[in-house]
Amino acid sequence: MEPRGFCAGVETAVSALAWVVALEPSPVYCLHEIVHNDRVADRFRRLGVVFVDNVADVPAGATLVLSAHGTAPATARQAASRAGLLVDAVCPLVTKVHREIDQRSKAGYTVLYAGRAGHDESAGALGIAPQTTHLVADAADAGRVIEELDAEGPLALVSQTTMVIEEVERVENAVRARRPDMWAPARSDLCYATTNRQRALREVAGSADAVVVVGSASSSNTASLVRTAGDAGCLEVVRVDRPDELPAGLTGTVAVTAGASAPESAVADVVDRLRPRDGVTVVRSQDEDERFSLPRELRARVSSALERGALPPALAAAARLEPGMMSTDELLDVVERVARG
């Protein structure tokens, strides 16, 4: 079903890391996995990228990329002081949430953040204003936190971009029942890709005999799709990263979707392994044409290398293309060919 797979934020982050690998000496370091997909991370490891969870593990003067999930200000400052070159590949939609937390906290609000504990995106957001921001996992948790805070001042609610739509709605309803004056953003914090994929899946999950969600266990938006399929009435829902993880005996109509960090090649491999007897029907609920630019400092480096004639022909051709004209899989193919010489 479509839409599925890479969203604009993931496309941009993966492309950014690919260009850094192409331009800078190895090894390139990345704070956390660039996106939460094992297949993508493994591909970058083969290109010499070192993923770390602590800035202290990055050698002084090294090239460092910050992941798509967003970085707390204190960590970003530490990274800037340590790295020789720092590229922030944060998704602009995550930046929107960071800005909301910062502005509301400075205005005296207590901020509730609807998100998943331990996720890289949550960790970055909670570090914006840690003294005034509180993680809430669900509606019951929100009620408990409000009681514990006993806050009389203004209250705001923001959310992780990859939550299930209904989860955030339940949290918002629970908070408004206690605090009708609660502030919430006029435009939802949920990523457009998160909501599009959940809505598309909801349209077909109830009539499917099974749903296969392609994506890694660490991916929050993938986990949200698994929950959505179950809530929509599908009795057999499985998450797989690779085709060899498919369970035996899937029969009838099998719907296949993918998290926003799963590459299209992973979906194709899963569909091939399923070997559908009656063929494949693509169910398209809507088109997506969102595009985000590469980080400014990286765009400048690519342009400079192109102008100086410092790029191999295949990379020079890729650099001349308009955004969206080459998929990240295709860009990584080019980078890998150049790396092999």
247/234 Cα distance (integer angstroms)? 16
The catalytically annotated residue of 11, 33, 100, 121 is: 121
Concatenated DSSP letters for 52-66? Answer: ES-GGGSPTT-EEEE
Helices (H), 30-151: 38-46, 73-82, 92-106, 120-126, 139-149
**Long-range contacts, stretch 82-88, CB < 8 angstroms, 24+ apart:** 82/55, 82/58, 83/29, 83/58, 84/60, 85/20, 85/24, 87/16, 87/20, 87/63, 87/295, 87/297, 87/298, 88/295
- Asked about 121 being catalytic, the answer comes back as yes
Tokens of 104: 């509301």
Concatenated DSSP letters for 169-186? Answer: HHHHHHHHHH-TT-B--S
Active site residues: 121
